[in-house]
Amino acid sequence: MAEDPQRNFRSHYYEKVGFRGVEEKKSLEILLKDDPLGILPPHYESHSAVLTFRKEQYQDLLQALQVIRFVQDSTPQVWVYLRMYQLESGTLPRRPSQSLEPEDVVFIAIAEAMEEMVENDVDAYWLVKYFVNQFNNKYSDSVAHLQPKSLEHYLNLEDSKLLTHLKTCLAMNKLPYDLWFMHCFAGCLPESSLQRVWDKIISGSCKILVFVAMEILLTFKIKLMAMNKAENIAQFLQNIPQENTDAIISKAIDLWHKYVGTPVHSV
């Protein structure tokens, strides 16, 4: 099946609750009340029930967290999402002040990015929850093999000279793998570029992460070749310039097509 360039993970989520062919940035509530394009989703009454359930569950979680004083009116929204997720998954810590686990840090990074993409808090929470659960359940075993094994393999095919330089500098083991692979580039790429990466993850391939990482290395090859210390290389890659990230993602997707193609469930 040919890939639709206009589809993204938000479209995928809305289809999960029954909406198709609509402008996904609008909230579900608005979609139920307003249809400016003349496109009515099928099975209207079932969608209303799903929407109501989502809202009620969100409010129940919020109220429970307020009662046990884990969230307040001043709590940042991404922390509210985290506490909701922890409450639902049975991982809520004994005290709000308890240090975050590494997976909590990842959740917050993804939630911060998602909050910039989605206008409605209820929708944002469900999208974050859906994305994190899918990534953890489907790709947790695969991600370990992507770093640095797969990255080295494909970089050697594209630019062996750059790979040799990074190895000579002992930089390959110091690249920001957590930021790239565990955070799925949240906090590294602007949201407009990030959602194109997440589209591929939702569609069934976490290998897109490898090609985004590789294209970042290729794009900034001249700068990286001028650096001889692993720490300097790692620091630069943790804070890459943001002005040309759309081009980076486009080239990364081309590389993904070149080496992987478009299998439905390729990891």
71 or 44, greater pLDDT: 71
As for how many domains the chain has, the answer is 1
Is 32's pLDDT higher than 50?
no
Cα–Cα dist 226/143, whole Å: 30
Q: Which DSSP category does 101 fall into?
A: P
Task: Determine the Cα–Cα distance for residues 119 and 183; give it in Å rounded to an integer.
Answer: 21
pLDDT, mean of residues 41-64: 78
Residue 212 belongs to some domain of the structure: yes
Does 100 map to a domain? Answer: no
Going by pLDDT thresholds of 50, 70 and 90, the confidence category of residue 77 is: very high
Higher pLDDT, 186 or 26: 186
pLDDT at 262: 56
What 3-state DSSP class applies to 264? Answer: coil
Spatial separation of the C-alpha atoms in residues 129 and 89, rounded to whole Å: 10
**Short-list 187, 247, 176, CA closest to 213:** 176
Residue 164: inside a domain, yes or no?
Answer: yes
Q: How confident is the model at residue 37 (pLDDT cuts 50, 70, 90)?
A: very low
Model pTM score: 0.80
Please answer whether residues 41 and 47 qualify as being in contact, where contact means their C-beta atoms are separated by less than 8 angstroms.
yes
Q: Is residue 32 in some structural domain?
A: no
Q: What is the pLDDT of residues 214-264, one digit of tens each?
A: 999 999 999 999 999 999 999 999 999 998 899 999 999 999 999 986 544
Q: How far apart are CA 112 and CA 26, in angstroms?
A: 19
Tell which wins on pLDDT, 27 or 62: 62
Q: Does 58 reside within a domain?
A: no
Nearest alpha-carbon partner for 214 in 145, 159, 267, 164: 159
Burial-class residue 20 by CB neighbours within 10 Å (0-12, 13-18, 19+): exposed
Structure confidence at residue 36 (pLDDT):
33
- Residue 218 is assigned to a structural domain of this protein: yes
Ramachandran assignment for 147, one of left (phi > 0), alpha (psi -120 to 50 degrees), beta (any other): beta
Q: What's the domain range around 227? A: 141-259
Round to whole Å and give the CA distance between 260 and 136: 21
CATH number of domain containing 225: 1.10.472.80
113, part of any domain: no
Residue 150 in contact with residue 211, Cβ under 8 Å?
no
248 in a structural domain: yes
